[in-house]
Amino acid sequence: MTAPLLEVSDVVRTYAMGGLLARHRTRAVDGVSFHLDADRPEILAVVGESGSGKTTLARMILNTVTPTAGIIRFQGTDLSRIRRARDRRAFMTHVQPIFQNPFEAFNPLKPVDRYLFVTAQRMAGLKAAEEIRQRADDSLKTVGLSLAEVKGRFPHELSGGQLQRVAIARALIPTPRLLVADEPVSMIDASLRTSIVNLLRRLRDEMGVSIIYITHDLATAYYISDRILIMHRGRVVESGNARAVLDNPQHAYSILLKRSVLSPDAAASGGAVLAAATSRYDQP
């Protein structure tokens, strides 16, 4: 039997909070379990308000934050057992991050093509200059750009949408099986969001890449995801087929989340309506 691509089992992450006298632990992620099949690429949306634990969960899957309890396995390997640099590199060829702000992901003083070349050398193990250039160009073409367009250009010479495409191209160079995309379109101009979101869908359909898509945005989650996890205070309160859950949420928090996000007031309030509504939900 093939091991799942990713198995997250009862994972917890706590952090110490407060000063010396009022020290307590907060459960950023509190007993989360799910898995991704190895033979069925999918987009899994993880949604929830700010502070619900989405980024902490993403970091544990990327193996940059260690769970306090529980196990995460990638292709059957327990991530806590990956210690040697060589094994870490091998893991990173399979699981790649996409971050929220592409301008923070690149050094402003380095031309962006350097990143692609270094990734092709270090992560994909390519040696010949022509092979490296070719892999960078192929990867850029997958995201609708080309090496000729970005060669020698610095991050500030590209739009946010173009730079996020370069970040995705870089992540694709080692031919990963899983992308962990944490709010990948929230800093991108609204007019360019759809093209990035469509790109994620194409990567699933044409390259067989699974994607964990972390977002506040229920509309794009509805549009591209196969499954959804709704998180609240570190826990998964509802999960299932994305359209079924969003069309007909069952859990009180999911109903509130949908209502708050979709109400006309919500767009104008920049999240204040959601925060107010969910804090009402939190009242005992």
Per CB under 6 A, residues contacting ligand ATP are 15, 26, 28, 48, 50-56
Residue 125: partners with Cβ closer than 8 Å, 6 or more residues away: none
Closest distance of CB 50 from ligand ATP, Å:
3
Closest distance of CB 54 from ligand ATP, Å:
4
Closest distance of CB 113 from ligand ATP, Å:
30
Which residue, 50 or 80, is less far from ligand ATP as judged by CB? 50
Which residue, 26 or 146, is less far from ligand ATP as judged by CB? 26
Closest distance of CB 10 from ligand ATP, Å:
17
Which residue, 169 or 185, is less far from ligand ATP as judged by CB? 185
Residues in the chain: 284
A 10 A CB-CB count for 125 gives: 10
Which residue, 48 or 249, is less far from ligand ATP as judged by CB? 48
Contact status, residue 200 vs residue 43, Cβ threshold 8 Å: yes
Contact status, residue 242 vs residue 227, Cβ threshold 8 Å: yes
Q: What is the DSSP letter of 156?
A: G
Which residue, 53 or 102, is less far from ligand ATP as judged by CB? 53
Q: In whole angstroms, give the CA distance from residue 230 to residue 218.
A: 10
Closest distance of CB 53 from ligand ATP, Å:
4
CA distances from 205 to 12, 33, 43, 199, 257 (A): 32, 25, 10, 10, 29
Residue 267: partners with Cβ closer than 8 Å, 6 or more residues away: none
Q: How many CA atoms lie within 13 A of 79 on its CB side?
A: 26
Q: How many CA atoms lie within 13 A of 276 on its CB side?
A: 10
Which residue, 25 or 110, is less far from ligand ATP as judged by CB? 25
Closest distance of CB 14 from ligand ATP, Å:
9
Instruction: Phi first, then psi: give them for residue 166, nearest 5 degrees.
Output: -65, -40
Which residue, 51 or 70, is less far from ligand ATP as judged by CB? 51
Closest distance of CB 26 from ligand ATP, Å:
5
